Amino acid sequence: MAKTKPGKKDLDSYSIKGTNKVVRPGDCVLMRPSDTDKPPYVARVEKIEADHRSNVKVRVRWYYRPEESIGGRRQFHGAKELFLSDHYDVQSAHTIEGKCIVHTFKNYTKLENVGAEDYFCRFEYKAATGGFTPDRVAVYCKCEMPYNPDDLMVQCEGCKDWFHPSCMGMTIEEAKKLDRFLCSDCPLDDYAKRSLNTFPVSPSVEAKVETKRRKR
């Protein structure tokens, strides 16, 4: 942690003006943008300090939305996806509008209900170069795209791979009515031996298919 400059003191917490919410180092917050037409910025609070005049500032590490990255938003990016960047800044605590939760990708996919304050992060992002960590990610379906948690997918009971209904010539409504699914690459005789009543409708985060280097 950076040393506090003379005349300043570290604070354990900060109460968001006009609310009963308390921010502490390590919390994720929504910060007011200069352009009111834009959504709030998301950041992780690293440090809170006050000067001799009781002006409170926060050192933050910014999250980037996909559209704010060099590569832009891509098909597999979720609506609530963020990248944890290497961009740090010091801001007035008065610009904090509220708190939010940035989940791991695994925990986000387990949420029964996604609230307005729920986000997820599966990549770290280098703001200057546009590089990602990790730079490899599991891919699914014939389209070989990473999993977007906003999209429904169906699992083949033969090979256990996951597929987008549209890539298999189905509508989402048709996919939801399926009791079981077999992709075109799996033999029907193997499938006939199975006794199945249901199928999952979202991939397991632990599932590994093959890895594919992200194109930038």
> For the segment 31-40, what is each residue's pLDDT rounded down to a tens digit?
998 888 889 9
| pLDDT for residue 88 | 97
Alpha carbons 109 and 97: distance in angstroms, whole number: 26
| pLDDT for residue 202 | 46
Token pair, residue 193, equals 């031996």
Where does 138-202 sit in CATH, by number?
Answer: 3.30.40.10
| pLDDT for residue 209 | 38
CATH class assigned to 9-136: mainly beta
| pLDDT for residue 52 | 80
**What's the full length of the chain, in residues?**
216
Closest CA to 64 of 55, 53, 72, 52: 72
Alpha carbons 177 and 16: distance in angstroms, whole number: 47
Domains of the chain, by residue range, sit at 9-136, 138-202
Above 60 in pLDDT, residue 82? yes
Average pLDDT over residues 123-152: 91
Among left, alpha and beta (phi > 0; psi -120 to 50; other), residue 141 is left
Specify the range with the lowest mean pLDDT, choosing from 58-67, 98-107, 174-183, 192-201.
192-201
pLDDT, the chain, mean: 84
Average pLDDT over residues 32-50: 92
| pLDDT for residue 19 | 85
Summarize pLDDT for 146-197 with one digit per residue, the tens: 999 998 899 998 888 999 999 988 898 988 888 888 888 887 655 444 444 3
